[in-house]
Amino acid sequence: MIDRQVTHMVRLVDDLLDVSRLTMGKIRLAVEPVDLGVVVGHAVEASRPLIDRARHALDVSLPPQPVWVTGDGVRLSQVVTNLLNNAAKYTEEGGRIWLAVARENGDAVVRVRDTGVGIAADLLPAVFDLFTQAERSLDRSQGGLGVGLTLVRRLVELHGGSIGVASEGPGRGSEFVVRLPVAPDQPATAATPQSAAAAGGAALRVMVVDDVADGAETLATLVRLSGHDVRIAHDGPAAIATAREFRPHLMFLDIGLPGMDGFEVARRLRDAPETKEIVLVAVSGYGRDEDHRLSRDAGFAHHFVKPAEYAALQTLLNSVSAAAAR
C-alpha cells in the first residue's frame, strides 16, 4: 500500500514538472524515426501493473506493417502510457480497454477506448485543461489531479499532432484519439518488433502458461506485438496438452501453477519426444540464485522475474526467432 502511494506521488510530481518544463519551453525532443509498435510495447509494459491490479482486459491491435512517425520515442511512450493509465483509472474493476494503431489519411493514429465511467458532454471541452478533474468518482479514490491529460496534449502538440476525446456520456466509456504526421519515408535500418521475424528470423509459435488470466493475456499481448503466434493455458495439464498439439518454439511457464506446478510441467515436457525441444522460460516472482538453479535443474533455459521487462522479452524473442530460421 505504502509503495503504491509513493509510486503514485512520484508520478504526479514528475508529470507536474514535465508540464512546467513544457510551458517554459525547456523540453527538447530527441527526434528520430519511431515505430509506433515499439511505443505501444513500452506503454503496455509500463501500464500493466495498474491494468492487472484492476483486472481489466486489454486488447491491442496493430496493423500488419509498421507505422512510422518522426519524434521522441520516450515521450510518445509517455503519451500512450498516460492514456492507458487514465483508461484503467476511470474504468470499474474488470472492465475492458482497447488500444489500436492505424494509418488513416496520411496520419498515424493511436486510439485508446474503455468501458469506463464516461464523460458528460459539457465537460469534454475541459478534459485537457490543467487541474481539471471532472466529477468522476473513480478518480477521487485514485487521487488524480488532472495533470496527465494536460501533459499528453502538450507532448502530442510538440510532435505536430493533435488529440481528441469522445464519450457518449456518463457510464458509456470514453475514447481518446491521437493523430501524428506519418514519417515521409520508412527508415531502412531501424529495428521494429514487427519486422524482427521478417529480418532474418522466423515467426514463432509461443505459449504463455499462467493461472492468472489477466497476467497471461498481458504477456501474450507483448509477444503478439512482435508478430508471433500465441496460445494461452492456465494450468499444467492444459499446458502439456496444448504443447503437444501446437508444438511451440518457446513457452513462458509460470512456476507457481496450482496443482501441477511449473517445475513438474517442465519435467514432463522434457521427457516427451514431441515437446523436449521447446525453449522453456520460467516466470516467477522470485529471482534468487537458488530459484535460478531450481529452474535449470527442471529443464528451463531461462528464468524471468515478474513482471518480465519488455527489452529482455524482445531480446529473447529475437534470439529464438533467429535460431528457428536456421
pLDDT in tens, 115-132: 999 999 998 988 887 545
What pLDDT shows up at residue 289?
93
Per-chain mean pLDDT for the chain: 83
Would 2-181 and 193-324 be classified into the same CATH topology? Answer: no
Exposure of 268 by Cβ count < 10 A (0-12 exposed, 13-18 middle, 19+ buried)?
Answer: middle
Compute the distance between CA of residue 63 and CA of residue 165 in angstroms, rounded to an integer: 22
What pLDDT shows up at residue 7?
42
Residue type, 165: V
Contact 209, 233 (CB under 8 A): yes
pTM for the whole structure: 0.67
Helical (H) or strand (E) element with 253: strand 250-254
What pLDDT shows up at residue 324?
87
Q: What would the pLDDT profile of 54-94 be if each residue is shown by its tens digit?
A: 999 998 888 878 899 999 998 899 999 999 999 999 999 99
Compute the distance between CA of residue 176 and CA of residue 233 in angstroms, rounded to an integer: 33
Contact 114, 3 (CB under 8 A): no
What CATH superfamily is the domain 193-324?
Response regulator (3.40.50.2300)
- 4 pLDDT band, cuts 50/70/90, is very low
Sorted by where each begins, the domain ranges of the chain are 2-181, 193-324
Alpha carbon 232 to chain centroid distance? 17
Mean pLDDT along residues 264-273: 95
Exposure of 20 by Cβ count < 10 A (0-12 exposed, 13-18 middle, 19+ buried)?
Answer: exposed
Q: What's 2-181's CATH class?
A: alpha beta
Compute the distance between CA of residue 266 and CA of residue 277 in angstroms, rounded to an integer: 11
CB atoms within 10 A of CB 262: 25
